[in-house]
Homo-oligomer: A and B are copies of this chain.
Amino acid sequence: MSDRNSIDVIVSEVGPRDGLQSVKRTMPTQAKIAWITALANAGLPEIEVGSFVSPRLLPQMADAADVVRAALRLGNTAILALVPNRKGAERAFAAGTPRVTMPVSASRLHSQSNINMSPEQAIDQVAAVVDLRDSLPVTPAGTRPLVEVGISTAFGCTMEGPVAEDWVIALAVMAAKAGADTVNLSDTTGMGNPAQVKRLFARLQRELGDKAGGAHFHNTRGQGLANVVAALEVGVTTFDSSQAGLGGCPYAPGATGNIVTEDLAFLLEAMGLRTGIDIEKLAAARSLILEGLPEEPLYGHVADAGLPKGFVYAATRSVA
């Protein structure tokens, strides 16, 4: 199901990273691996499986290397991990992570409190990680790891309020010049609206060309899927989401949960866009969250309401 050629839109599951890092308890390593395996089996084409931050800051992510190594055995699911800086990237590359994603916050206050760097210092770290990546030997397939950047608080900041769109785009250009392969935009705080989403992604694409990446939306004010529709209108084809809406940003008060993977997959498939995801298998994987984190609250509508009577997956329709 997760063959890249047979899907129209990439749903990138970030629950094992963005979700679990915002839960105070730590999901045991074996439970994480069981959950990630179920996500891959449900057809998720991409999974962000952990974060190589200091285990002092986020003990929930201390096992990132073990989780990456286990996830790499899952076949053709793309595996990503977050790295905040060069030190994290060293650990990530040592574990064999084929793709790392680095947060660069457009809000100075958020950047300082989230990664203790200015946005410019975060860009320097991107350059350092790209250098490190370029120094690695190529794999037997002739490749080196990819370096993605996500511009966080790109749609507003709980501390600063609105963030200037010119600055968001300038920062994205700096990240691309620093060597990032892809630059994504993140609504870390759930402040974005569809008009702004269309404006910013259209500009990102104009400025960055094929380095312009996907969207990471939160559902703080219930606007997540509305913003997805707006992004689809301007041609965005990769969306982060978290199963059951786990997640949020521990440094952005009031920013609750990523958009819900089940609801996003339903949106896309119902629109006729192939995701490779089996929504019922995906919903069944919720039980593995609860095995690792008993009684954790789970969110989303589709898992409760079920697929509508007569629902047909996009792939089936395009064959018919």
Contact = CB atoms under 8 A, between A and B. Distances in A.
A158 B225 contact: no
A239 interface: no
A270 interface: yes
A193 B226 contact: no
Contacts of A222: 225, 260, 263, 300-302
B266 A223 contact: yes
Contacts of A195: 270-272
A301 B223 CA distance: 9
Q: How many copies does the complex hold?
A: 2
Contact of A230 (B221, B229, B309): B229
A310 B161 contact: yes
A160 B309 contact: yes
Given A223-B267, A263-B221, A308 B191 contact: yes
B220 A310 contact: no
A98 interface: no
A306 interface: yes
B254 A306 contact: yes
Interface string A186-208: 00011101111000000000000
A156 interface: yes
Given A193-B271, A194-B229, A309 B158 contact: yes
Interface residues of A, number: 43
Most chain B CB within a 10 A radius of its CB, from A156, A162, A195, A254: A195
A275 interface: no
Nearest to A273: B195
A263 B223 contact: yes
Contacts of A193: 267, 270-271
A105 to B, nearest CB: 15
Interface in A147-199: 156-162, 189-191, 193-196
Interface in A124-163: 156-162
Most chain B CB within a 10 A radius of its CB, from A270, A302, A306: A270
A170 to B, nearest CB: 20
A67 interface: no
Given A222-B301, A267-B193, A271-B195, A161 B308 contact: yes
Nearest to A257: B301
A228 B254 CA distance: 25
A64 B290 CA distance: 47
A305 interface: yes
Interface in A208-230: 219-223, 225-226, 228-230
Contacts of A37: none
Nearest to A220: B305
A90 interface: no
Nearest to A263: B222
A233 interface: yes
Nearest to A264: B222
Contacts of A302: 221-222
A77 interface: no
Closest 3 CB pairs of A and B: A161-B310, A222-B301, A193-B270
